[in-house]
Structures are given as C-alpha cells and as structure tokens.
Structure 1
Amino acid sequence: MNTRSISRAHRFRRAAAVIAGLAAASVALSGCLYAMIPEDAAPRPSKTNAPDTEGVAADLLPFYSQKLEWTDCGSGFDCTEVTTPLDWENPGDGDITLSVVRHQAEGTAIGSLLTNPGGPGASGVSLVKDSLDFAVGADLIENYDVIGFDPRGVGESTPVTCYDATDMDAYLYTIPSAKRGSAEWESELLDSHKAFAEACDANSDGILPHITTINAARDMDLIRAVLGDKELNYLGYSYGTFLGATYAKLYPEKAGRLVLDGAIDPAVPGLEVGATQALGFESALRAFMKSCLDSGSCPFNGTVDEAMADLGALLASVDRSPIENGDGRLLGADSLMTAIIAALYSEDNWSFLWETLGEVLQGDTLNAFYLADFYNSREDDGTYTDNSTEAFRAYNCMDYPVEDDPAAEAAIEKKIAEGAPTIAPYWNGPDSCSVWPYPPTGTRGEISADGAGPILVVGTTNDPATPYEWSESLADQLEEGVLITRVGEGHTGYNKGNSCVDDAVEAFFLDDVVPEDGLRCE
C-alpha cells in the first residue's frame, strides 16, 4: 500500500487556544484505506420497522411516527431521509432533513447501531459508506444494522453553507500581512472570521441558531425511534462522545449500549480545551520525533530536544519567508502546522510526516499541502468535498460560552508556552466565535447520565486530540462509567488493532458483558 495514501473517510479541525471550541478529530487518520464493501455487492431486501412512538408528546408525534422510505444507494447500503424539527422547543416552526445510511446486518440483527465520527462536522454517512469496517469491526457488521447519519448542519443533511471554493481558499490559506501576534495581525484575522460568519448567516437559511449538540442529540433519539428501536445502541468517536453523553443525559431511559471512544470532557471550558490539546499534540510530536530519530531516515539529528528545536526553527523560517506552492498558494507556518497535526492523529502516518518535513527543508511543499488539504477537505482541483469547516464552527460557537477573562487567557497562554513550546507560537489567535452572529446557548458542566446504565469510555494514553485525562474524567462523571485504557499512540482506541480493547467493546455490544472498570490494554 502506498505510504502516501491517507484515508479520506475522516476529518478533524484544529482550534486555537482562545477559540471557544474543540480541536477534535473524527476518527484517526490511517496509513491506508481500509477495505470497503465491493461496489457490485447485491442489494438485500430493504426492511422498514414500525416507529417507536411510546410516550411521545402530541406536538412531536408527526415526526416520531414518520415511516422511512429506504432506497438502494449502492455497494450493499440503503439510504433514507428523516424529517426533524428545526427548533425542538417549537416543533411547529419548520423542519429540516437528516441524511441516514444503513448497512443491514449480515446475520440476524440485534438492532441498530448508530455511529458518529466526530468533528463536530464530520459526515457519518461518508464514514459508513466509504469505510464501514474502519468504523466498526466485523462481528458488529455481522450482528447489527450499522447506521451512519449526518447531524443537522452537516454534509447531506440540511447543511450550514458559508463560502464557495474560492472564498474558502482565501479564508483558510491566506497569510496575514501583519506581523504575527501584533494588534494589526489580530484585527486582520478577526475581520476574516467576521466575514466568514456573516457569509454563514446569509447562506444557511436561518438554521445557525439551531446547530447545537443538544438539538443533534434530540435528532438522534428521533432516528432511534423511526428505526423502530426501543433503546439507542451507539458508538461515538471524539466529539461523538460529547454527543453520546448528551444523549444519555437527555434520554437515560432510552440509553442502550453506549461506547464513547476518545472522550471529550463536557466540563472543560473552551480555553482549557485549547491548552490541553496543545500539550497533547506537543507530546505526540515528541513521540513522533523520537521514532523519526530512531528510524535512520529522519531529516533531523541529535536528541529529541535538539530535533524539536530544529523543527521550531523550520516553522519560524516559513513564517518569515513562506514557500510558494505550484498552484500559487504559499506555505507558511500555519499551514505547515496544520499538516503536522493532521499526520499526528495516527502512528501509521509518521513515516510520511518525516518524509514531508524533509521535503519542506528542501523547499518542496507538495506533501505538506497534501496533508493540509486533507485536513481542510480540499481536493487537488481546489474543490471541497464537504462542509466540515462550516459545521465545525457553527457547532462550537453555539455549544461553548465565549470566555472574556484576560487573566485566564494570560494563564492559558503561559501554560501552552511552557508545555508546548514548539506548537505555542502557532496555536493562539483571536476568538472566531466572538463575531458569530448568534450568542451561544450551550453550557459546560459534568454529565452523570443518572439511570442510563453502564457506559463504556475508551481512552488512549497518548491521544493528542482528546487527551487521556478527558476519558478518565468522563468515566468518573458518569453514574456508571466504565473506563477502558488503550496504552499507545494516536486518536481513539477501538478497531485500531488492539484485541484487548476490541474484545471488550464487542462483548459489550454483542452480549451485554460489562468489562471491569479500569481495564488496561497494553
């Protein structure tokens, strides 16, 4: 398999420390595409179950009683749309649609298994259709109807829409003219964020105030019900853990078997999120650098500290003098840092990263832009494959309260500078959510999900995007949280080659066997 191949099934976004949002991945990048369902797979007879309308309020009954119409959408999948309220508090004020894909169980179905790849803003439809056996293991494919869905605002559901490809290029890749860190630099960036936010408001047909995780969790209960399931079985990655925990908080009586992999701590405020992730990526970068130095083909020399200093010098160099790419774009420090972070999501990508950095040292930007473009869902022809950038911003700006505490910001910046010295210069920036057209409605706080039953939380010890401490914290918060620890590198733990983790997760889904809390998988 070509080492330059990176799975396009999964997306993530980075947030600066002062942004009220998450820099979360969907699922880890991988060195190669996992095997997909053959394109000529024969469609199976589609089934439609009676919806579960027990206890549904009268004003929501038209939504919960809808009968799904499935159509063959190729390669052994069938697809449908679910109509959901635009505003769950006022369900008569209009509706939107949710795109849903299903792979029916190869054997006898236990029920439906909903999945979410994270983001926020990653497409669950694409995850399931493009790489089913990366999303879930073979035994779950055999025994569950695996369901992918695009949350409200995302992908093929009623989408958040902001920029065309040309404007998105300008927004993501333009290098500010002012000196980094100056008041003029901050003003330039804030103007760019404001123009983006205004375009989102103008082009999204009034949905922005309703793009929240609470509404997405309510949508998920509607999907459960119209599929005909009495309880929700769910596998959520990264941001998908916050979505799953929110569901368990809202609907504990409907929570079936929930697994939350690569957890977000719902109690951590936005400023602290950015700081923790900066330290997480610095830790992953140091692990990468040690592996690079041990490989014998690393473009850096000396100790890990010396190599990290040299990488810092490379970043500073392209910050001062960006390198022109063949298409006219300039590789500055921000795009190079984007490329580095993209590759750190999976240890499988490390050799490609050190090759890429070696090329940048020689003035070659091709693979650095390949990684940055992957991160931004940009194709070689300049088109964008999804709206993950727009949806990411919409969710985070509504979910996270804007923090206006200069003392706290100064403390966070100091923490990042001391704990992540390589990343720190390129992590901070003006709060893009401060110019969002609607005030946030979300709050931060612990989730206990009383009455939901056992919920499995999977954490990886050197996960850069959702640091292990968040999984520990969420497992502690949940009334019946059960922590599974994967000792290793990369983002998320299930279906990544660790049989201890996989066996525990699948025994829970298949046989309702709850593993011992604190299970540690070396």
Structure 2
Amino acid sequence: MDTRRILRRTRTGACLLAAVALLTSGCSFGSTTRPVGSAAAAAEEVPALTPLPRSTPAALEPYYEQKPAWRDCGAPGFQCATLKAPLDYAEPSAGDVRLAVARKKATGPGKRLGSLLVNPGGPGGSAIGYLQAYAGVGYPAGVRARYDMVAVDPRGVARSEPVECLDGPAMDAYTRTDVTPDDAGEIDTLVAAYKKFAEGCGADAPKLLRHVSTVEAARDMDIVRAALGDWKLHYVGASYGTFLGATYAGLFPHRAGRLVLDGAVDPSLPARRLNLEQTAGFDTAFTAFAKDCVRQSDCPLGGRGTTPAQVGERLKAFFAGLDTRPVPTGDADGRNLTESLATMGVIAALYDESAWQQLREALTAAMREKDGAGLLVLADGYYERGAGADFSNLMFANAAVNCLDLPPAFDSPDEVRRALPDFRKASPVFGEGLAWASLNCAYWPVRATGEAQRIEAKGAAPIVVVGTTRDPATPYRWAEALAGQLSSARLLTYEGDGHTAYGRGSDCIDSAINAYLLDGTPPTDGKRCS
C-alpha cells in the first residue's frame, strides 16, 4: 500500500483493544441542513465549552514569549524546535511539558499568509511524521507557497514526551487478545489485558497521564501560535484533529483563523454513543465494500447476486474459524493470524477505498490458501508496528487521551453484555468486538477530566467542516452535528467512500478548501461534491 495513504489514514479509536472514546448511525445522504429532531435536542442538553479570557494570565506569559530555536531536521527544508507548555494549566508552576514542533517554510511566490498547522488525527497520530512524510511535500503547491507548514506533536504523542504502556512482545500479545469472548473465562482474560495495559501506562507517566486531554493540547497550540508570531491560528485537522481544532476555536474564538475540520467528530456525544455510532459507520463502509467486492472476479466472499448481509455472514464465519484455528502468516516473529488481528486488518482497509483490492487479495489468501500475511500487514499498518515488535506510541496515546477526555463508555462487563444487542444491530459483523473494545477505559488509572460538550465558538471567523457520506470512522452525521454547533460553520460534503475528503481525489473538495485557505473565501454552506 502507498505509504502516504497509510500515514493519511487517520485513527479515531476504532482499534480493537485500543478503541476508546471515539468509536454511526448511518450516513445522512439526503440533507444539506443542520441536524434536526432528537440529535439536535440531545446536543442542546449538554453544556457548551466556555471560551477562555482574551488576556493571557501573567503566570503563562513566559510560555507565550518563547522564541523557537530552529534547527535542520529530517528531509531537506524541514526545521525542528522544542517549546515548553505547563504540565497543569491550573498550576503553571508545577512543571513543564516539552512540545516537539516542526515546520517547512513557505516556498513562494506570493505573499506569505502565516503558519498552517496540520494534525492527522488519532488521537496519537504524529503530526510531525505526517508533515514530513506528506503534508510538507504533498499539500497543494499554492498552499505550500504561501504558508509555513507547521506541525506539533500533542503532549504524550510521538516526539512530545510520548506515553508508553507495554513493550513490543507485550503489545503483540495485547493485539491478539480475543475481543469477542465466548464465556466467563475469556471475559476475565480480556479484562486482565485491559488492566495490564492501563497499569503500564500509569507506571510509565503517572503525572503526565493526568494532563494529556484535548483541552490542554488545544491550549498548547495557542502557545505555539504565539511562538510562531501569528495573530491567528490557521489549521487543517483530520478525524480526531477536527475535535482538537474545534476545541481550539471554542476556547479561543477570537484567535481562530482559517480552520478546516475534515472528517468531523461530534463533541456533544458521550463515549458510549460515540462508540455505537462509529460502529454503525464501519458497517456502512463495509456494506459499500461488500457491494463492490461481489462485482469483482476475485471476491472471496461471494459473486454477483450475493447480498451485503450474506457477505457479512461469510466474513463472520471466517473470523469465527480463526478464533479456534489461527492461520499461519510466515511472520518472522512467529505470529499467526488470529480473529482479532484479522478483524483489525479488515477495518484498516475500510478507511480508504483504494485499499479494497488489497483487502480482497488478503482475504482470498487467508480464506482459500491459509496464508494470513496480507491481513497481518494491514493490521500492523494500523497499529504502526514495525519489524521486531517495534510499535510507535500511537495506541498508547490514543487510550491516554480518549480515556481522559470522556468518562468510560462502560464500567463493567455486565454493562457491555446488556449493550450487545444495540452494537450487533449497528454492525452485525463488527458490533460485538467493538462493544467489548469500548470497555478498556473502565480500568484506566486516572479519572476522566473532560465531558461531552457543545462547541459553539461564537465570534470565530468562518470554519469549514467537511464530512464524507460513507466515512467509516467519523460518520457523516457527526459533520452535520459539529457544523450545527459551531456558530460560523460552513458544511462541505463529499458524497463518497473513505475517511476524510481533502487531498483524496475530489477536485471539487480540493478547490473549495484551497480557495478558503488562500483567499479566505469559505464555500457556500451545504455545498456538495462527488
């Protein structure tokens, strides 16, 4: 698979065992208006995020007065620096967090417009890795000509004091844990895995783990903005990055510049609702894949005339067989393809329709030739696992942020069991596993500090919210919901498959966003592209 595609496939917590607050209802295909009925009413019932004062508190002024000491790093043209932020904004004297920042300066010609911060999502995705591998060289030339392309790894992520929870072999074992338990013993094994993961995170960073919330990361971005010398923050965030960007706008509406929120998250939903709606989102994406698969000559799940429901039943039967008899992979570390790894491989491929052929080939090899290597590659790409069980900290940061941002979806296995019918209805193929995956925050070593909130950002300049109608990870309804909350939102819709829309092949989407970034002209609210 194209490595740029892998990097651009952002995560929102759907990873089995690492899945947490962001796990949809089906896409809304017929409306270009704001959410109506119960969804809008539910959003109105939660509190709104309160903006921070315009003036900078005296205790924070030293952080805002920092000047980055840039040094060359990575590929030619990239520079890196380190900035400091308070560990605890309520007590700035309690210590600092070191934030890694990278940039690629505007190339010209044309008047420089300032800095453009980018974030690929997660939580846990490295913004610096994304900048160096894609955004700094792959964004439209006109955007790169007039903006300094900038990335900051959020606190606890990648180069910014990364949270670590398990070593490589232990993480390998964790990713193979059965998340569709059949009896009390398997439930106990799953709970033990969650507890071991949580205990490892707590032992690694007991202080930092209390201060990796999205609100704190958004406040860090304002320090970065000031250090860059910008009056306003210009920003493109994907997936979870939309939650981070919207939170920034909610806290600092007067400093929000040109913000693009692509693959939007609905901040007004509690964890269980988020997980349930995202589960249905993956079902929507799987249905699209199934319809395409049976039209292809190499589909191992059926031929023309096979319904998506039948495709799903055959895939479930394959998964069930792996539960008792894993398939060899030829992996150098001796791993076989388990049910959990195979499921993760399928889910990973649903993020981008360009991976559907690869998924068909991997399923064919595993189901007909007893060779699970292809699905293992997909799962490893999602987990960011390298050779020799070398994992990035993506999954650790993912849990750390999500478990702090919202109270857990479930507090006990009994609560999961009672919710299983709803999750199975949302997705007959993935529902059971994603329900049990939503239990992990119940055992987190620190209590959540955040809550579901509306984000209104009253007084902010126009903000572009982008939704894809068959997005697996951030359902289209979430884009409608976020656009309905933000007072200055412009909803831009891509009628298609895959996760996020900008830079994925739609000239209509790209032209609208480029015009906004370069000229400040937002698209007409409700504009639709295909």
Tell me the residue number matched to 1:172: 175
Report how far residue 416 of structure 1 moved.
2.2
TM-superposition CA deviations, 1:267-304 (whole Å, max 9, x none): 11111111111111111112112212212221222413
Corresponding residue for residue 377 of structure 2: 370
SS in 2 for 1:372: helix
Displacement of 1:324 in angstroms is 3.3
Residue 185 of structure 1, CA deviation: 1.8
1:159 aligns with 2:162: yes
The residue correspondences of 1:377-396 to structure 2 (distance < 5 A) are: 377-384=384-391, 386-396=392-402
Residue by residue, what CA displacement relative to the aligned partner does 1:149-202 show, whole Å, maximum 9, x if unpaired?
Answer: 1000000111112222122112222458xx824222222111111111111111
1:452 aligns with 2:460: yes
2:426 maps to: 419
SS in 2 for 1:461: strand
Residues 173-188 of structure 1 mapped to structure 2, 5 A cutoff: 173-175=176-178, 180-188=181-189
Q: 2:276 is matched with which residue?
A: 275
- Measure the CA separation in 2 of the matches of 1:56 and 1:3: 44
Q: CA deviation at 1:471?
A: 0.2
Q: Does 1:438 align with 2:446?
A: yes
| Separation (CA, whole Å) in 2 of partners of 1:202 and 1:266 | 30
Residue 445 of structure 1 aligns to a residue whose secondary structure is coil
**Aligned mates of 1:101, 1:94 — CA distance in 2:** 23
Question: Could you say which residue in structure 2 is the equivalent of 1:7?
Answer: 6
Q: 1:321 aligns with which of 287, 308, 325?
A: 325
Given that residues 4 and 133 in structure 2 are in contact (C-alpha distance below 8 angstroms), is that contact kept between their aligned partners in structure 1?
Answer: no
Match 1:142 to one of 136, 145, 150: 145
Select between 182-191 and 104-113 the one with higher mean Cα deviation.
182-191
SS at the partner of 1:67? coil
Residue 330 of structure 1 aligns to a residue whose secondary structure is coil
Paired residue for 1:243?
A: 244
Are residues 174 and 409 of structure 1, via their aligned partners in 2, closer, same or farther at CA, if it must alter by over 3 Å? closer
What letter is aligned with 2:6?
S
1:74-118 Cα distance to aligned partner (Å, 9 max, x none): 321111111111111111110011111101111142100011110
Which residue in 1 is equivalent to 2:35?
none
Q: Say whether the 8 Å CA contact 2:7–2:130 is kept in structure 1.
A: no
Matches within 5 A, 1:218-257: 218-257=219-258
What is the rounded CA distance, in whole Å, between the counterparts of 2:443 and 2:345 in structure 1? 27
- Residue 504 of structure 1: CA displacement? 1.0
Distance (Å, rounded) in 2 between the aligned partners of 1:388 and 1:332: 21
Report the AA paired with residue 72 of structure 1.
D
Contact residue 423 and residue 432 of structure 2 kept, 8 A: no
Contact 1:376/1:389 (8 A) holds in 2: yes
8 A contact 2:104–2:136 mirrored in 1: no
Structure 1 vs Structure 2 CA RMSD = 2.3
SS in 2 for 1:363: coil
2:60 corresponding residue in structure 1? 60
Residue 192 of structure 1 aligns with an amino acid whose one-letter code is A
Query: For 1:6 and 1:114, how far apart are their aligned partners in 2?
Result: 20
Residue matched to 2:505? 497
Please list the CA deviations of residues 355-406 of structure 1 after superposition, one character each: whole Å capped at 9, or x if unmatched: 000001121011111011111111133212x201110010011001124588
Label 1:69 to 1:208 Cα distance change in 2 as closer, same or farther (>3 A). same
| Identical-pair percentage | 40
Corresponding residue for 1:38?
Answer: none
The AA in structure 2 aligned to 1:279 is A
> 2:163 corresponds to which letter in structure 1?
V
Measured in 2, the distance between the counterparts of 1:408 and 1:193 equals 16
Q: What is the aligned partner in structure 2 of residue 264 from structure 1?
A: 265
Aligned counterparts of 2:184 and 2:212: Cα–Cα separation in 1: 32
Please give the secondary structure, in 2, of the residue aligned with 1:79.
strand
Question: Is the 2:423–2:435 Cα contact (8 Å) retained in structure 1?
Answer: no
1:218 partner SS = helix
C-alpha displacement of 1:250:
0.6
Question: CA 1:245/1:429 → structure 2, altered by over 3 Å: closer, same or farther?
Answer: same
- Residues 100-141 of structure 1: CA distance to partner in whole angstroms, max 9, x if unpaired? 110111114210001111000000000000112676322211
Give me the whole-angstrom Cα distance separating, in 2, the residues matched to 1:167 and 1:188: 14
Q: Is the 8 A contact 2:23 2:277 kept in 1?
A: no
Aligned to 1:344: 350
Distance 1:202 1:5 in 2: 34
SS at match of 2:386: coil
User: Deviation at 1:495?
Assistant: 1.0
Answer whether contact 1:125 1:149 (CA < 8 A) is retained.
Answer: yes
Aligned to 2:127: 124
Q: Write the distance in 1 (CA, Å) between the matches of 2:17 and 2:397.
A: 19
One-letter identity of the residue aligned with 2:464: L
Q: Measure, in 2, the Cα distance between the counterparts of 1:403 and 1:7.
A: 28
Taking structure 1 as reference, are residues 16 and 173 closer, same or farther at Cα in structure 2, changes over 3 Å only?
A: closer
Match of 2:385, SS state, is coil
Off by >4 Å, runs of 4+ in structure 1: 2-6, 8-11, 15-20, 403-412
What is the one-letter code of the residue matched to 2:478?
W
Amino acid at match of 1:278: T
Q: How many Å separate the matches in 2 of 1:476 and 1:4?
A: 35
Partner of 1:22: 22
The 5-angstrom pairing of residues 62-81 of structure 1 reads 62-73=62-73, 74-81=75-82
2:360 is the counterpart of 1:354: yes
| 1-structure distance, mates of 2:430, 2:3 | 24
1:517 maps to 2:518: no
Structure 2 spans left out of the alignment, 5+ residues: 25-53
In 1, Cα distance between the equivalents of 2:136 and 2:471?
A: 22
CA distance in 2, matches of 1:116, 1:94: 25
Deviates more, 1:322-331 or 1:489-498: 322-331
2:314 corresponding residue in structure 1: 310
Q: 1:200 is matched with which residue?
A: 201
Query: Residues of 2 paired with 1:248 and 1:274: CA distance?
Result: 24
Q: Offset of 1:440 from its aligned partner?
A: 0.2
Change (3 A) 1:381 1:404: closer
What is the total number of aligned residue pairs between the two structures? 489
Of the structure 1 ranges 238-247 and 288-297, higher mean CA displacement relative to structure 2 is found in 288-297
SS for the counterpart of 2:436 is coil
Give per-residue Cα distances to partners, 1:232-261, cap 9 Å, x unaligned. 101110000100111111101111111100
Q: CA deviation at 1:311?
A: 1.5
Give 1:55 shift.
Answer: 3.5
Q: Could you list the runs of 5+ residues in structure 1 that have no partner in the other structure? A: 25-53
